[in-house]
A and B are shown apart, each in its own frame.
Chain A
Amino acid sequence: MVEHGDIRVVHRGGSKINFREPVITNDSRFLLCASGECVKVFSTSTEECIHDLRGHTDLVTGVQLKPSNHLQVYSCSADGTVRLWDFTDGILIKTYVIGYPVYSIFTSANHEGIIFIVTPVLCDKRSELFQLVAVHLPQSGDQLVETRELSAVLSDVGSNPAAIAFGRGGEYIAAAKSQQLEVYFFKKQKSYRFFLKEDNKKGRKNTFTCVACHPKDDCIATGHEDGKIRLWRNFNHKKEYTYSTLHWHHSAVSSVCFTPEGTNLLSGGVESVLVQWRYNQESQKDFLPRLGAAITHITVSPDGALFCTSHSDNKITIIQSCVKVSAVIQGLVKGEGVRTDLMVDPRSKALVLNGKPGHLQFYSLQRDKLLYNLDIVQQEYIHESGLQQFEVVRAAFDASGNWLATVEERKQDVAELELNLKFWAFDEQTQSFVLNTTISAPHEARITAMCFCHAADSQTSMLVSTSRDGHFKAWQLAPPAHTEDEGPSWSCDFVGAYHRLVPECCCFSADGSLLAVSFQEVVTVWSPSSWELLTTLSQPPGAVRDLCFGRLSCSKYLLGTNMNNLLLCWNLLTCSLEWSTSMDTSLLLADPLSENMAAFCCQSGCTDLFVFKPNEPRPLFSHKAVCSGKVTRAVFAPREEMLESCEESSQWLNCSQLFFLTQYTDLLTFTTKAEEDRLMASSKQLVIDDSVAMTPFYLLLGKHRQQQDTQDTLSSLSAERTPLPQGSVAIKELLQTPAHVLPSTSFLCSMFVQSLLISVTDSREESKYAEEEMQSEKEEEDSEGEMESRTSRLEETSLGATETAAPPLTKAQVRELRRVKKLDHSWLAGLLDS
């Protein structure tokens, strides 16, 4: 069992974007946020991810703009490095090796060449003590720089980066931890500490949660566990400090932030309301309610034009300073816990799990983007802690992706449990799932497992659900009983039980001819066609936890795990135990595209992974300690394109990728070296692609011609781009260019439509256009000057960026564009969505 050096665990796709405070660039065009092992650069206007800054080998724990150069950004990571990036081009400029895991980073314009980082005191990951360290960045031309000048500033700080902030002009730094606020003045090299009482009278907590400093005045705003905000002043005195209290939040304030001019204070918390306080007139406040989920961070752009709030449901909301939401960047929602299994939607190849309360989310792992949410519960969610509400707890797809079954439950008391089983049919027209059947109280107790019959050729769909009430039920799509019914609906076909034991798991064989249901220690094998108990397998003692049929060449095997830490493999032909091995398997998973099985074993606090074939004695791959804690959710996601890896150890990753969730609900996956190299390469190419000037007109008009000329060179450049079977270059252009670099949709639509139209125009239509043109002539004249200047400016930028100048538009062309813009193209939107 050799550790395979070229395969490593990475955060890829579905990482938290709310882990740390994002950063808005000086021109408010980009939003940078730490996401897994990379820094993502989003466009603030189009919500699209422009590129990733890849290079860190562990979680990125902080992003800060370089104060002296607003086009560069620092990122720090738990891998012990701080990296400096050019974020517009995505180029790694420098790597500073710190040597200790870094938990957050702070910079200040007043401290040139110094960054402040938080590192654990004992260089031990588990330790709870953190210190704030000033790092003098050595001036060196090398790419990789070792930093030696480290000096501790504050010895005892919290690991929460929101609880540390630089004061006015970087003259002091304020750090809060539990009930203590410490202010360190750099000039005097003196720190003052202020303590709050353990608890105030009403038993609420006084603990500090976050800190912000006013940019102009010496005023520190602190948020507290009990929802209060305190504004500290006069804190350069040990005793005569003073504070005022603002109280609107009813539970902990998770973030406070001053606007760059210091006129407003923003705060947010569990209430999902952004509160804007007027500085020095705190009785006046504005609210932005209904932001969807608890606010975890608040950031303001350096010019104060944009606010941005991170939310607990892995979402970043971009808000214009007039307190209006302008964009939402949504990551994979992990909420309070993943209740459903991880699944892959057979149609969209999206990862499916429960997301927002009462919803199933469809998340594209390839594009790292939330596709859509499916409202399962269809009830208003009430934001209140402690309230029991319906939650989606199980979901299953059938093989073709035509049917989706969901289970939602609400547990009010120990006694009464409300359960609903819902069947959703995929509607080709709306391209979404439509509720077909709702079965309330399908079982008397909690449903433990649910699976569809995956047989591809079977005519009837079948779902089996097992429950703690001791029964398993088979549900079948039945033709409508009455003629007036519109379509087929689902009903119970068979109720099975075995010696009043509680069924725990169920599994269909690949061809759908066998159903295995485990009843504690006994595995029963049924024939779904006749509902006949074929055999029982019960040799080793211990309740069965997981069941899995082998696939393809191994379809004669049934694998299971049990409570006695055994991994079992039965041969269904002989109905006997083929082999067993002792390991504490927390999850057993079969790759749907190969014979491979993955087993996650929990060992001394860490989880190991074994990938094996049931018929081979040696594991294909093993990885010790993929993560700490137990892994209970994982999925094999089929790849869009096969990897051509020939190395034996990484072959199992060729057709599908294994994603798993750690106990901290981090989504991790495995990557091979080859794959990583390829990704790096492609991101480099993308950068080059991007660096070409992107005026809309150039894109639409100029580039096509060029592209046609240099078709061959371009195609070689973008090797991974597969040309669409049909459609012109314009369509391709439209569909493949990132949205943020495209002109507004109204422009695009017209061009798109024109490219589709047959170029014979009706004369009547033309006259109508002419009429419209006449009408709009007047207003056009008004805005002529502005128009002119805009085009010329655009021209300039294009000139500045590239050598090849785009042909300037004539006035007639501009008019044409405007005319086209006026047309109604709403029908197209629907078409584009599909």
Chain B
Amino acid sequence: MNRYRFKGPQRGSRCFPACGCGSEESLVTVDKKNVKMGEFKVHRVRFFDYMPRAITAMAFNSRYERLALARAGGAVEIFNFADNYFQEKVIPGQDSRAVEALCWVDQRLFSAGLNGEITEYDLENLRPRYSVAAYGGPIWTISSNNQGTMLAVGCEDGTLKMFEILEDRIQFQRNLDRQKGRIISLSWHPSGKLIAAGMMDMIRVFDTETGHATHRMLVERGVGTCKSKEVVVWSVAFLSDHNIISGDSAGKVQIWDGFTGTLVKTHLVTKWDVLSLSVSQDQSSLIAGTSEGTVIQFQFISPTVDQQEKEWVRTRTFKNHTHDVRALAHTETAVVSGGMDTQLVVRPLLDKVDKNTQESALRKIAFPHRSLVCCAKKAGLLLFQFPEHLELWKLGESDGHGKPGDSLPVKRKPEKLIHLKRKGVDHICCSALSPCGGWMAYSTVSSVRLYRLQYDNNNISITKVSKLPKDLCSAHQLCFSSDSSKLFASSIHSSVVVVALNQLECKHLHTLKPKSGSRQPVHLLFASEDGKWLATANTGCEIHVYNLDKLKLHCTVPVYSSCPTAIAIHPVTGNLVTVHADQQIFEFSLAQKEYTEWSRRLQKRGLHSLWLERDTPVTHIAFNPRNPAHIILHDMFMFCIIDQSLPLPEAKTVLHNQMMLRSLPEPERIRHSHAFKICKNFQHLLCVSLLEDHSLVVVERPLMDIMSQLPPPVRQKKFAT
């Protein structure tokens, strides 16, 4: 019962409408903070039509506390749940790849999709390692046994194929008895001897040794008009006590006895589909995601206090989604859910976590934890990165003056200069624009492309640089030096390729390598203003600083346990500022090769609890050349100016004190002000950057705009309608 469906199950074929052009506006406003914070002309940009993709699959690795998440475009993201749910890695998608299911085997990640292939990912190089065709039509599901030796996939043609997991590849072993009708879902019994497979209208239990089906359990169809429609068993779970739990398209969660193949209990949960199930590690709790956007928890508890016998009882209902909950993961302490509405929601189970801690807060992850916007400071250009294309925009202009808070008349409208479609099937994984606006580069997993941009009056010409050095075949991150003479591209094993650019040719200068020999990909690059330093950060939490004059490693910042989310080198003092996923801020002096006095003071004092409780990471750091003491950083919900010359806030002081300060008389303000000046006027920020003319560019993407572009949710009866 789903309006997305054509014939048969259609989990994979739901897609979004093409990203339409959103509101294109550039409100140029003057924004005045209090005296000390400074006054900026702000370009309020809302023409970045960033549209996240629907979440289609999820797998949680409880041992390493990593969540793998697949999106509609085939992109796979890895979240580190041990490190503040930071999005560590992103493997870009591919046109043909639609990931239907994900599966962890120890540290290896496998996926299967409707293209009929099983893919293993290279998590160090952020690309698919290899793909193996299963030759059974589209694959709906993939699952490994507890021992980590076998993979089972369910195919469209009704076969259950077993693959042996080898050191470096997987090998087809055999087919289990072929059935009529596709296999939608499967689950291994923890012993590895049995597999439950959800099909159309039925569930079958297979013996993995003989390959024969031992039980065939018919699932009742829905009542009413859906009686004629066959019911899809979207999800099954085989428990160690031989109970099988199924969720189906008739909205039922059913518990079956796996020994006898009989129905034990039916919970009618929704009028629509139950799309996903997930069982906790200790098998005492079960969650089911529905088309209505609800997640329903069942718990295995004894009906009477002193009795040992237990039964599954429906308990809590979480409603954090507006659309289908396609993917679920039950971690030790939380329910992780994602679906059509593109948000990843981590809902802690309050009986498993301590109250009022970082863990007990509901988290919604809507935006990627990395920057998709590149700003050319000198030229006033913005580069927006989409999976399929790049957009280059010129900011609007205004010569008006106004009171703080006024919006100014726009003299020249913002203008879309270039819409560059990528080549090939691989999606764009990173892009960069040189500060002068003369160079543009992007990379996919297979190639790097560099373009030369030239402006004469109102015309812009773009030419592809045809000959690129061989070492520059793929990059995880791209960055131009401040004078646009060099391009830095992070490559395999945390190395950075340095390419010199000039009008005629581009030449490979050097490949910088860290001494640690880390194999983790570099996800952050920053070249200092004076062109002397290059800082890199990789997902192994290492930060290296290279001397570009000598083209060798200058120093390594002491490794902090949390992954850096933004790094920058101060143009005046030459200090490296790093912000980490756990919201800590460090300042490292490159000259002394040690933490600065201010950083030590900050650590001693400790950050304000409100600052630490924020749940989105800082994704960008900028500096104000007019006032060297100012550090500008932003996350999704605010941007903040840290004034290093002011005293740090005490634990008791009010962190958000802008309103209060404004009401105070001038001399009083100094006494009450502290280093953190937080502005929440702009929300859902993708980028905050300072241009050379001291105007601030703020790129917003309101969540409402994203929601409005989603397909309509399933119809639900609302009270009093």
Contact = CB atoms under 8 A, between A and B. Distances in A.
B351 interface: yes
Contact of A233 (B266, B269, B313): B313
B687 to A, nearest CB: 31
Contact of B315 (A168, A239, A244, A284): A244
Contacts of A219: 303
Interface in B315-337: 315-317
A217 B304 contact: yes
B361 interface: no
14 contacts: A217-B303, A218-B305, A233-B315, A236-B305, A240-B351, A242-B301, A243-B315, A243-B316, A244-B315, A250-B720, A280-B265, A280-B314, A281-B267, A283-B267
A284 B351 contact: no
Category for how many chain A residues contact B: 20 to 34
Contacts of B719: 250
B313 A218 contact: no
Interface string B683-721: 000000000000000000000000000000000000110
Contacts of B317: 244-245
A287 interface: no
A166 to B, nearest CB: 14
B330 to A, nearest CB: 14
Contacts of A171: 305
A281 B265 CA distance: 10
A236 B305 CA distance: 7
B670 interface: no
B304 A280 contact: no
Contact of A280 (B313, B316, B351): B313
Contacts of B316: 242-245
Interface of A: 168, 171, 216-219, 233-234, 236, 239-245, 250, 280-284
A217 B351 CA distance: 22
B299 interface: yes
A234 B301 CA distance: 7
A234 B299 contact: yes
A280 B253 CA distance: 13
Contacts of B654: none
B301 A233 contact: yes
Nearest to B265: A280
Contacts of A245: 316-317
Nearest to B304: A218
B268 A242 contact: no
Contacts of A234: 299, 301
B409 to A, nearest CB: 41
Nearest to A239: B351
A242 B302 CA distance: 12
A171 B317 CA distance: 29
Given A239-B351, A240-B351, A244-B316, 7 more contacts: A218-B305, A241-B351, A244-B315, A245-B317, A250-B719, A250-B720, A282-B314
Nearest to B285: A242
Contacts of A241: 351
B268 A283 contact: yes
Interface in B217-274: 265-269
B301 A283 contact: no
Given A168-B304, A240-B351, A244-B314, A233 B299 contact: yes
**What DSSP secondary structure best describes chain B's contact surface?**
strand
Nearest to B268: A283
B68 to A, nearest CB: 29
Nearest to A241: B351
Given A244-B315, A280-B313, A281-B268, A218 B351 contact: no
B303 A283 contact: no
B310 to A, nearest CB: 10
Contacts of A236: 305
Contacts of B351: 239-242
Interface in B267-287: 267-269
A637 B555 CA distance: 103
A244 B298 CA distance: 9
A243 B720 CA distance: 26
A242 B299 contact: yes
Nearest to A244: B315
Contacts of B265: 280
A113 to B, nearest CB: 25
Contacts of B268: 281, 283-284
A233 B313 CA distance: 9
A240 B284 CA distance: 11
Nearest to B350: A239
Contacts of B720: 250
A262 B305 CA distance: 16
Interface string B289-300: 000000000010
A241 B349 CA distance: 11
A281 B311 CA distance: 13
Nearest to A219: B303
A242 B266 CA distance: 20
Contacts of A284: 268
Contacts of B305: 171, 218, 236
Nearest to A227: B719
Contact of B303 (A216, A242, A244, A250): A216
Nearest to A185: B305
Contacts of A244: 313-317
A47 B710 CA distance: 59
A245 B318 CA distance: 10
Nearest to A168: B304
Contacts of A216: 303-304
B720 to A, nearest CB: 8
**Max count, chain B CB within 10 A of own CB: residue among A216, A234, A284:** A234
Nearest to A283: B268
Nearest to B719: A250
A240 B265 CA distance: 24
Contacts of A283: 267-269
B437 to A, nearest CB: 47
Interface in B572-589: none
A524 B570 CA distance: 95
Interface in B141-183: none
A281 B351 CA distance: 24
B305 to A, nearest CB: 5
A283 B303 CA distance: 19
Nearest to B270: A283
Contacts of B302: 218
A171 B304 CA distance: 11
A250 B721 CA distance: 13
A236 B299 CA distance: 15
Identify the 10 closest CB pairs spanning chains A and B, nearest first.
A217-B303, A244-B315, A242-B315, A283-B268, A218-B304, A236-B305, A218-B305, A234-B301, A240-B351, A239-B351
Contacts of A233: 299, 301, 303, 313, 315
Contacts of A250: 719-720
Contacts of A217: 303-304
A250 B303 CA distance: 29
A284 B271 CA distance: 12
A242 B296 CA distance: 13
**Max count, chain A CB within 10 A of own CB: residue among B315, B317, B719:** B315
A236 B266 CA distance: 27
A283 B305 CA distance: 25
Interface in B68-95: none
A284 B315 CA distance: 16
A250 B305 CA distance: 32
Nearest to A188: B305
Interface in B91-119: none
B348 to A, nearest CB: 13
A269 to B, nearest CB: 14
A244 B299 CA distance: 10
A27 B351 CA distance: 45
B721 to A, nearest CB: 13
Contacts of B301: 233-234, 242
Contacts of B267: 281, 283
Contacts of B269: 283
A118 B299 CA distance: 35
